[in-house]
Amino acid sequence: MANPTDLSYTDEHEWLRVDGDIAVVGITAYAAEKLGDIVYVELPKVGSTITAGAVVGEIESTKSVGELFAPVSGEILEANDAVVASPELVNNDPFGAGWLVKVRVTSTGTLLTADEYNALIGE
Amino acid sequence: MTEGEFLQSAYRQIRELLSDSSASAPRFSPLHGVHVELGASFTDFAGWEMPVRYSSDLAEHHAVREAAGIFDISHMAEISVSGPDAVAYLNYAVAADVSKLAIGQAKYSLLLNEAGGIIDDLIVYRLGDEHFLVVANAGNRFNVVPPLQSRTAGFRAVVVDQSDETALIAVQGPRALEILENTVGLTLAEAAAHRPQSSLTDLKYYWSLPATFLGNPVLIGRTGYTGEDGFELYIDVAAAAALWSALSEAGQSRGLVPAGLACRDTLRLEAGMPLYGHELDLTTRPDQAGLGRAVAFAKDGDFVGRAALEAPLPASAPVLVGLVGEGKRAARAEYEVYSGDTKVGIVTSGALSPTLGYPVAMAFVDASLSAEGTILDVDIRGSRHPYTVTALPFYSRKKN
């Protein structure tokens, strides 16, 4: 699956759709495929404050456990309850219905463009 | 140094280099090209580059439970044992009593060391009066073959490692029988007609029949590592790809999917089957791992490990149990098990069971806490979750 060019990325395989100071965050199709079938997602609580680079959640597949790193600092505005209920959404639609959290951003870490992310994963 | 000694020493060095799988390039299955064509993702398994999944672990898992899956397990080690003393030799070298096996019958067994520790778990097939096939784990091939060879001392028995010439394909699932019966080119050998069970339909679990595929000998065992009905087919590496494609063609209209090592692991876990390196190792006695029945104390004569295992299991030795949890967070290998604040064990394998929908695990725990119904806590990355001790297996197929 091609990485959309209108998104920003991190080297921890997350994507961000930034609109003003609001960012929607998910994991990339590449990350979802590497994890395998996702069976459990734990997301930070709405209202909690996250710090860029810190572990804020977990994504488990049948075979392994992946940590969710905060790609930005800020406050969690929404967590996607649909992926908690149906973790397979992350595999099926990683850049859409499989989004994870919406954040009010206070500061961002280092973000990559789609081209830079493609280079990182060798595509 | 004579020329002979020099050659011997050079040969030994080459052999050591070849046997050190960690230092060498990955090994490829004779079916590697087939997997690449099918779009498999690969993983390193015991030095082999093997398919971990083709599409989805869960879809492959469910296909095996509901229809069928085809697995490449050519990385397994096949070792031939033959000679006039083959029975007496094997009865000394491994834990099972092979003298009781009829021709075609197979037995789950263990290769033990003198201390009663497990070098590997094995399947032993009796192929003839004086001929057996021993199947060992890929990762243990070079730990199994040397003791099997050295234990022949004093016996007229010959041990030959045939792993490099032998491919192994498993077809597992409720539709496996139908798929084999409809595989073009696969027919039972004439010798099968003289066996007590002379057809695949009649073939019982842990029995085998000789067959041919386009002129190549095939050994078909009704064995597996998934908890479903199914077969394992041993064939020369040169004919493996053709057999895979004939089986796949027969399976196409019957729900057969290629299945990787990821689902093989969740399938065997649900079926409560041990995996060497997780539930079994050199420091584990069979009776700790629930495999006391695999040690034939009643057989005549000595066998390696007998003296050590005749001593009772110390009360302090942890024992293997099944654990069942709630929710979706899986206890995984190496997570710690607690009773109150006391660490009482360690998880050896665990996953969210795809078939059952809740977490299942196997763990070694203090024997005093191994009774069914005992509630223990597993530390899952910093938080404690209750798990209940449960009889194995977690899943049993419905038998017809």
Compute the distance between CA of residue B75 and CA of residue B51 in angstroms, rounded to an integer.
Answer: 11
Per mean pLDDT, which range of A59-63, B91-95, B248-252, B363-367 is the poorest? A59-63
Residue for token pair 């869960």: B58
Is pLDDT above 60 for B60? yes
Residue B348: C-alpha distances to residues B19, B39, B304, B391 (Å): 27, 31, 26, 16
Q: Measured between CB atoms, which of B57, B59, B329 is closest to A63?
A: B57
Is pLDDT above 70 for B101? yes
| Residue B228 DSSP one-character state | S
User: What is the per-residue pLDDT across A96-107, written as a single tens digit (0 to 9) for each?
Assistant: 999 999 999 999
Compute the distance between CA of residue B207 and CA of residue B200 in angstroms, rounded to an integer.
Answer: 10
Nearest CA in chain A to B54: A36
Is pLDDT above 90 for B294? yes
User: What is the per-residue pLDDT across A18-41, written as a single tens digit (0 to 9) for each?
Assistant: 999 999 999 999 999 889 999 999
Is pLDDT above 70 for B376? yes
Predicted pLDDT at A109: 78
**What is the DSSP track for B338-373?**
EETTEEEEEEEEEEE-TTTSSEEEEEEE-GGG-STT
Q: Cβ atoms within 10 A of the Cβ of B231, count? A: 22
Kindly state whether residue A61 falls inside one of the protein's structural domains: yes
Cβ burial, residue A44 (10 Å; 0-12/13-18/19+)? buried
Is pLDDT above 60 for A113? yes
Domain region containing A105: 8-120
Chains A, B: CB contacts under 8 A, how many?
Answer: 42
User: What is the per-residue pLDDT across B254-291, written as a single tens digit (0 to 9) for each?
Assistant: 999 999 999 999 999 999 999 999 999 999 999 999 99
Neighbouring-strand partners of residue B320: B364
Is there a contact between A60 and B352 if contact means CB atoms under 8 Å apart?
yes
Q: Measured between CB atoms, which of B57, B330, B332 is closest to A37?
A: B57
C-beta separation of B267 from B61 below 8 A = yes
Per mean pLDDT, which range of A2-11, A61-70, B311-320, B339-348 is the poorest? A61-70
Nearest CA in chain B to A67: B381
Instruction: Check CB contact of A57 with chain B, cutoff 8 Å.
Output: no
Q: Which of A30, A37, A61, A88 should one mutate to test binding to chain B, selecting the residue with the greatest count of B CBs within 10 A?
A: A37
Is pLDDT above 50 for B21? no
Kindly state whether residue A46 falls inside one of the protein's structural domains: yes
Residue B364: C-alpha distances to residues A5, A26, B33, B206, B225 (Å): 50, 38, 40, 28, 21
CATH of the domain at A112: 2.40.50.100
User: What is the per-residue pLDDT across B173-212, written as a single tens digit (0 to 9) for each?
Assistant: 999 999 999 999 999 999 999 999 999 999 999 999 999 9
Question: Where do you find CATH 3.30.1360.120 in chain B?
Answer: 3-73+165-204+211-269
The percent of residues above 90 in pLDDT, for chain B, comes to 92
Q: Supply the pTM of this predicted model.
A: 0.90
For B271-292, b/e burial (b = at least 16 CB within 10 A) is bbbbbbebbbeeebbbbbbbbe
Predicted pLDDT at B11: 44
Q: Which helix (H) or strand (E) holds B8?
A: helix B3-19
Is there a contact between B332 and A65 if contact means CB atoms under 8 Å apart?
yes
Cβ contacts of B52 on chain A, cutoff 8 Å: 36, 63
Among B97, B85, B82, which residue's Cα sits nearest to residue B303?
B97
Q: Measured between CB atoms, which of B41, B329, B352 is closest to A62?
A: B352
The percent of residues above 70 in pLDDT, for chain B, comes to 94
Q: Which of A38, A43, A60, A63 should one mutate to test binding to chain B, selecting the residue with the greatest count of B CBs within 10 A?
A: A63
- Chain B positions with Cβ closer than 8 Å to A: 41, 52-53, 56-59, 61, 262-263, 265-266, 328-330, 332, 351-352, 354, 381
| Residue A112 DSSP one-character state | B
The minimum CA-CA distance between B332 and chain A, rounded to whole Å, is 9
Regarding the domain with residue range B3-73+165-204+211-269, which homologous superfamily does it belong to in the CATH classification? Probable tRNA modification gtpase trme; domain 1 (3.30.1360.120)
Kindly state whether residue A74 falls inside one of the protein's structural domains: yes
Residue type, B8: Q
Is pLDDT above 60 for B13? no
SS3 content of chain B, % helix, strand, coil (to 5): 30, 35, 40
| Predicted confidence band of residue B24 (pLDDT cuts 50, 70, 90) | low
Q: Measured between CB atoms, which of B41, B52, B352 is closest to A39?
A: B352
Number of domains in chain A: 1
Is pLDDT above 70 for B6? no
Q: How far apart are the first and last CA of chain B?
A: 67
Q: Measured between CB atoms, which of B59, B262, B381 is closest to A63?
A: B262
Compute the distance between CA of residue B350 and CA of residue B360 in angstroms, rounded to an integer.
Answer: 6
Predicted pLDDT at B139: 94
For residue A29, give every residue at least 6 positions away whose Cβ sits within 8 Å of its Cβ, in sequence order, or none.
A1, A3, A94, A95
Predicted pLDDT at A62: 87
Please confirm whether the linkage preceding A87 is cis (ω < 30° from 0). Answer: no
What is the dihedral sign for C-alpha B31, B134, B68, B393?
negative
| Predicted confidence band of residue B400 (pLDDT cuts 50, 70, 90) | low
The minimum CA-CA distance between B360 and chain A, rounded to whole Å, is 12
Average pLDDT, integer, range B333-346: 97
Among B108, B232, B211, B259, which residue's Cα sits nearest to residue B168?
B232
Kindly state whether residue A2 falls inside one of the protein's structural domains: no
CATH architecture type of domain B315-393 = Beta Barrel (2.40)
Which residue pairs, CB below 8 angstroms and at least 24 apart, start in A106-109? A106/A21, A106/A72, A106/A73, A106/A74, A106/A75, A107/A52, A107/A72, A107/A73, A107/A74, A108/A23, A108/A52, A108/A71, A108/A72, A108/A73, A109/A10, A109/A52, A109/A53, A109/A71, A109/A72, A109/A73
Among B253, B257, B369, which residue's Cα sits nearest to residue B321?
B369
What is the dihedral sign for C-alpha B313, B224, B196, B397?
positive
Predicted pLDDT at A63: 83
Kindly state whether residue A65 falls inside one of the protein's structural domains: yes
Average pLDDT, integer, range B72-78: 98
Residue for token pair 């050295």: B150
Q: What is the dihedral of CA B370, A64, A96, A85, to 10 degrees?
A: 0
Nearest CA in chain A to B332: A64
B283: left (phi over 0), alpha (psi -120 to 50) or beta: alpha
* Token digits of residue A108: 């961002």
Predicted pLDDT at A110: 84
Is pLDDT above 60 for B18? no
Across chain B, mean pLDDT equals 94
Compute the distance between CA of residue B294 and CA of residue B337 in angstroms, rounded to an integer.
Answer: 27
Kindly state whether residue A3 falls inside one of the protein's structural domains: no
